[in-house]
Amino acid sequence: MGFSDYRTALVTGASSGIGAATVRRLCAEGMEVHALARDARRLARLSAETGCRVCEIDVNDLGAVKQLAALVAFDILINNAGQSRRGTILEMAPDDVDTLVDVNLRAVLHLTRLIVPGMASRDRGHVVNISSIAGHYAFGENATTFNSSVAYHATKAGIHSLSQQLRVDLYGTRVRVTEISLGRVATSIFQNQNAVENPDARFVAGFETLQSEDIADAIAFAVGAPTPMNVAMIEVIPTFQVVGGLQFARRSEAAPVQDMTTGADNA
């Protein structure tokens, strides 16, 4: 199995960054690629360039997604669409929590339940879930180098768990599941290098970051693998980036412990 055995693919978050690079890569393999995103103008340009099919759909529009899944028998599903927010759980806005859960997790679950049963019945298919090292490691504020939040970490951990369980649910079929866990990638979040206009530019300027094409190549490697080989997980990080690490706050840096009964600080 590989590209020659697959005919159709659906890529979410396809209008820019990793999604657009993946559309280009799969189209170059001669596949019929459906590019799903909300930005009609960018999708039109991508279609003119690659010949992909435009799907101007919000991943949270369950009716539209359900209709698309009923119309096309997809051999490949690339769950790439995602959003990020900054902030600890102590300061996150309710709307930010809802957006991250809706886009990063809920939409992926619905796309999977709508498309994967058809793959299983045909005994052919590949699901690629784009996750993040944020789903596997905890980062401190100074170490994160991401525009991330606790809710973002939680949703990406959910994608990791989904990928693991999906392989169990598909046991005995030739439907493969790949999780690609990313480190720092120079996607649209960081495209503006002007630190005055975009404070997140400091996470890219001066660093060797991965490019969207690097991730598209990783996807192509997993999808193009022979039938007996399921590339279950790839962790893709820049050579100069390391994950993990230990942080230990000095006593003077630690927040005072408050006595909840009296309101007094017990530092």
Q: Which domains does the chain have, with CATH numbers?
A: 3-253 (3.40.50.720)
Residue 244: predicted pLDDT: 64
- C-alpha of 230 from chain center: 19
Instruction: Tell me the residue length of the chain.
Output: 267
Question: Per the confidence metrics, is the pTM higher than 0.85?
Answer: no
Q: How far apart are CA 40 and CA 216, in angstroms?
A: 22
CB of 27 closer than 8 Å to CB of 52: yes
Positions marked catalytic: 152
Task: Please answer whether residues 86 and 148 qualify as being in contact, where contact means their C-beta atoms are separated by less than 8 angstroms.
Answer: yes
User: How far is residue 102's CA from residue 189's CA, in Å, rounded to a whole number?
Assistant: 19
C-beta of residue 99 within 8 angstroms of C-beta of residue 105: no
CA–CA gap between residue 44 and residue 141 (Å, rounded): 39
- Its sign, for the CA torsion 96, 241, 233, 28, is positive
Q: What is the CB-side half-sphere exposure of residue 48 using CA atoms within 13 A?
A: 6
Whether residue 138 contacts residue 153, with contact meaning beta carbons closer than 8 Å, is answered with yes
Residue among 241, 44, 140, 248 nearest 23 (CA): 44
> What is the per-residue pLDDT for 141?
54
Please tell me the predicted confidence (pLDDT) of residue 206.
58
Angle, CA of 24, 30 and 33, to the nearest 5°: 55
Per-residue pLDDT tens listing for the chain (267 residues): 567 789 999 999 999 999 999 999 999 999 999 999 999 999 999 999 999 999 999 999 999 999 999 999 999 999 999 888 777 777 788 888 899 999 999 999 999 999 999 999 999 999 999 999 888 887 765 444 445 678 888 999 999 999 999 999 999 999 999 999 998 888 765 443 333 444 445 555 556 788 999 999 999 999 999 988 999 999 998 888 777 655 556 666 556 655 544 444 443
Of the candidates 78, 86, 128, which has an alpha carbon nearest to the alpha carbon of residue 231? 128
pLDDT for res 267: 39
HSE value, Cβ hemisphere, 13 Å, CA-based, for 198: 14
What is the biggest distance separating any 2 CA atoms in the chain, rounded to whole angstroms? 70
How far from 202 is each of 51, 75, 183, CA to CA, in Å? Answer: 36, 39, 16
pLDDT at residue 249, as a whole number: 61
pLDDT value of position 193: 36
Q: Alpha-carbon distance 44 to 202, whole Å? A: 32
pLDDT at 1: 53
